Amino acid sequence: MSHQKTVYLIDDDAGDRHYLAFRLGAVNVEAWPFSSGASFLASVGNLTPQVVLIGVDAEPHRGLETMAELARREIDWPVIALSRGKDLGVAVEAMKLGALDFLPKPADEDRLMAALATASAILDDRVRASEARRAAQARVTALTAREIGISLALLSGRPNKIVAYQMGISVRTVEAHRANVMMKLGVRSLAEVFTLLTSAGLAPAAGDAPQANVAALRMPARPGPAQWRAIQAELEFSEPRAA
């Protein structure tokens, strides 16, 4: 799919906004104009992912504030910043905030279209990755919190016996949970479990890292997609108990 035919255009300067929208229309790119970052952010929850063009001229550089808020909300739609000024600090800050390009106003048409083509390709990749993550999360929600924790522990490289010892459960219980996980996910190997969990945003500990203490998890039995970060944050780790 291609998102290049529609872009969101945010600029406090009405003249610049109308002029750029006109130029984009002339090359069959539809610009959805917003007179401020605040109006865009108020609508963003109802918008589909598209490339974003942001003017960063107006003091106190509200365009940069909008970019910072997009980053805070983890909205990773590609951003192209535009400015009439020649403030290197503004350009550097825009790039730090994730701008793919920083173009002068009025933007050279060839350079603008090249930037839009690059941003469109990046957006396509991000949308596909997001869809894959949602699909993985939907499958992983079939697991209980304990099954997720044991899966992460096993995927960190420790054998069933060590995982059982560290978690204070029997080897048979670990094996039962492992079998349940594979059955619920419809997979045949831990490698496939690893792929699904990492796609869903859950990463196992590194090879020699301590194991997850599932008893420390404080979450619903079947967490939804919005809770993956909370799951990771609340996973506590403990060294093996002394013999």
Kindly report, residue by residue over 63-75, the tens digit of the pLDDT.
899 999 999 998 9
Q: Tell me: pLDDT of 150 over 90.
A: no
Q: How confident is the model at residue 38 (pLDDT cuts 50, 70, 90)?
A: very high
From 142-156, 189-203, 213-227, the region with the lowest mean pLDDT: 213-227
Calculate mean pLDDT across residues 107-120.
92
From 36-40, 85-89, 134-138, 180-184, the region with the lowest mean pLDDT: 85-89
pLDDT at position 238, please? 36
Q: What is the DSSP string of 80-142?
A: EEEESS--HHHHHHHHHTT-SEEEESSPPHHHHHHHHHHHHHHHHHHHHHHHHHHHHHHHHTT
pLDDT at position 136, please? 87
Q: Tell me: pLDDT of 237 over 50.
A: no
From 19-23, 131-135, 199-203, 216-220, the region with the lowest mean pLDDT: 216-220
Give the CATH number of the domain where residue 230 resides: 1.10.10.10
Residues 113 and 180 occupy one common structural domain: no
Note whether 213 and 238 are within 8 A (CB).
Answer: yes
Regarding predicted confidence, which is higher, 235 or 126?
A: 126
Percentage of the chain beyond pLDDT 70 is 80
Residues 35 and 127 occupy one common structural domain: yes
What residues make up the domain containing 26? 6-131
Residues 112 and 19 occupy one common structural domain: yes
Residues 107 and 182 occupy one common structural domain: no
Residue 136 located in a structural domain = no
Residues 56 and 170 occupy one common structural domain: no
Residues 85 and 166 occupy one common structural domain: no
Residues 26 and 103 occupy one common structural domain: yes
Domain boundary among 99, 131, 163: 131
What pairing do the DSSP bridges indicate for beta strands 237-238 and 211-212?
A: antiparallel
Give the CATH number of the domain where residue 78 resides: 3.40.50.2300
Residues 225 and 154 occupy one common structural domain: yes
β partners of residue 81? 54, 102
Residues 181 and 231 occupy one common structural domain: yes
Residue 243 located in a structural domain = no
Kindly report, residue by residue over 116-148, the tens digit of the pLDDT.
999 999 999 999 988 888 888 888 888 888 888
CA 215 to CA 237: how far, in whole Å? 10
Question: How do the residues of the chain divide into helix, strand and coil, expressed in percent and rounded to 5?
Answer: 55, 10, 35
Regarding predicted confidence, which is higher, 231 or 217?
A: 231
Crossing angle of helices 190-199 and 145-155, rounded to 10°: 110
Residues 53 and 169 occupy one common structural domain: no
Name the 3-class secondary structure at 7. strand
As for how many domains the chain has, the answer is 2
Residues 163 and 231 occupy one common structural domain: yes
Domain boundary among 68, 103, 131: 131
Across the chain, mean pLDDT equals 81
Domain boundary among 80, 103, 131: 131
CA dihedral 50, 56, 57, 59 (to 10 degrees): 130
Residues 10 and 120 occupy one common structural domain: yes
